[in-house]
Amino acid sequence: MTLPVDPAENLAALIRCPSVTPAEGGALGVLENMLKPMGFSIERPVFSEAGTPDIENLYARRSGNGPHLMFAGHTDVVPPGDEALWKHPPFSAAIEDGIMYGRGAVDMKGGIACFVAAVARHLEKHGSLAGSISFLITGDEEGPAINGTVKLLEWAKQRGESWDASIVGEPTNPTTLGEMIKIGRRGSLSGTITVHGIQGHVAYPQRADNPVRGMMCLLESLLDPAFDHGTENFQASNLEVTTIDVGNRATNVIPARATAGFNIRFNDTWTAESLKAEICARLERAAQANRLRPGRDTAIQYDLVWNERPSHVFLTRDDRLIGTLTRSIEAVTGRRPELSTSGGTSDARFIKDYCPVVEFGLAGQTMHMVDERVPLAELEDLTQIYERFIADFLA
């Protein structure tokens, strides 16, 4: 029996599946075919929710006596964009000069391919595992993340599953393999503000109420002063205005309303609840202060809607997990990785509620880009890191 020990072959098979969110695209079937010969039991539950696409997921486990290590990730990918701009077709897994091209090469089919190869090599050498390994793979990470990891975790828990630690195989290294382990993430909170005015002719402003003026006041209150200046383990919280719109194409009409969207990435100074309270207080102070402006005697009329479920800030403090992975990285690359909480969110935000979790995968320079690609040598190095980690962590 031939086991999937070659990460490049594993990755090529996965890339050739056009699994653009929410399509499974054959990728979970390919992964199942890799894992079954290694003795993994496979289940592929589909989760649904009104207003969202159904998502197929995969949970695979090989059981042994000892710790239970979860590898988590996703086979869904973002759209390739204009395929004519690609050097090679985005789902061809073409190799040129020792580099494999394809959508998902680093984000994050590459990480999955390497972890599968690492498990296969471990089994070839040792014949068994000194513990349990599971794969928790979703097809919804690049989408709304509603019918994927969050539901798959609860589904597995209800069946008696528990884990001692997890690695998420996202492309965490900025430029070079071995630079960085993500041991936490800032939280994320999004909202939409709508300011209500009175539509009118621009030549008769006394008959109208321009909502743009009110919106500028409200947004300024969110941008200054800073929410904080960072903490020991996290960057400063940062709010960005992501869209402003009045829906008005006429240059001689004062609009009736203005809307603005914002997102804030926040550190452990805040919880989602305390941050919401702070934002509401700032907006209300700014709205009431509008009464003091010349010619005004009313507050700014506005609504605030929170757009989505917030992602909560978290920090993993697990010496065994972090230390074992750090030593594995050093042994293969000679680099001591930085322990970081930078960047955006990932499905680790769900896993943290079930077990200690860190993120470590390929270098992410080309993720989501045209000509997403990975050097074959980097696939081999990551496989060796994972293989060392599996042996040491389960020992």
**Would you kindly state where each structural domain of the chain is located, as residue ranges?**
7-185+313-394, 187-306
Kindly indicate the confidence band of residue 297, based on its pLDDT and cuts at 50, 70 and 90.
confident
* Predicted pLDDT at 294: 65
User: Matching CATH topology for 7-185+313-394 and 187-306?
Assistant: no
Asked whether the predicted pLDDT for residue 298 surpasses 80, the reply is yes
pTM: predicted TM-score of the whole model, two decimal places: 0.89
Q: How many CB atoms lie within 10 A of CB 13?
A: 19
Percent over 70 (pLDDT), the chain = 98
Q: What's residue 103's pLDDT?
A: 98
Q: What is the mean pLDDT of residues 19-26?
A: 97
Q: What's the whole-number mean pLDDT along residues 39-60?
A: 97
Binding residues for Zn(2+): 74, 107, 142, 170, 368
The tokens for 18 are 């056009």
Name the pLDDT band for 304 (thresholds 50, 70, 90).
Answer: very high
Residues 129-154, mean pLDDT to the nearest whole number? 96
Determine the angle formed by the axes of helices 109-126 and 27-35, rounding to 10 degrees. 10
CATH architecture of 187-306: 2-Layer Sandwich (3.30)
Tokens, residue 232: 């020991």
Query: What pLDDT shows up at residue 325?
Result: 98
User: What CA–CA distance (Å, rounded) separates 129 from 106?
Assistant: 27
Average pLDDT over residues 33-42: 98
Q: What is the pLDDT of residue 189?
A: 96
Residue 296 pLDDT exceeds 80: no
Q: In whole numbers, what is the pLDDT of the chain averaged over residues?
A: 96
32 flagged as catalytic:
no
Provide the CATH topology of domain 7-185+313-394.
Aminopeptidase (3.40.630)
Which residues pair with residue 132 across a beta bridge? 68
Give the C-alpha distances (Å, rounded to integers) separating 84 from 23, 48, 102, 199: 22, 35, 13, 45
Q: Is the pLDDT of residue 293 over 90?
A: no
Over residues 166-190, mean pLDDT:
96
- What was the pLDDT predicted at 295? 64
Give the pLDDT of residue 291.
74
76 flagged as catalytic? yes
Q: Quick one: pLDDT at residue 126?
A: 94
pLDDT reported for residue 59: 98
Q: What is the pLDDT of residues 231-245, one digit of tens each?
A: 999 999 999 999 999
Kindly report, residue by residue over 201-257, the tens digit of the pLDDT.
Answer: 999 998 999 999 999 999 999 999 999 999 999 999 999 999 999 999 899 999 999
pLDDT at res. 292: 64
Q: What is the mean pLDDT of residues 117-132?
A: 96
Angle CA(139)–CA(12)–CA(145) in degrees, nearest 5?
15
pLDDT-derived band at 89, boundaries 50, 70, 90: very high
Check whether 290 has a pLDDT greater than 90. no
Residue 133 has pLDDT above 70, yes or no: yes
* Phi and psi, residue 85, nearest 5°: -85, -10
Task: Out of 6, 24, 56, 76, pick the active-site residue.
Answer: 76
Residue of 6, 56, 140, 141 marked catalytic? 141
DSSP state of 84: G
199: Cβ–Cβ under 8 A, 6 or more apart, which residues? 208, 253, 254, 255, 256
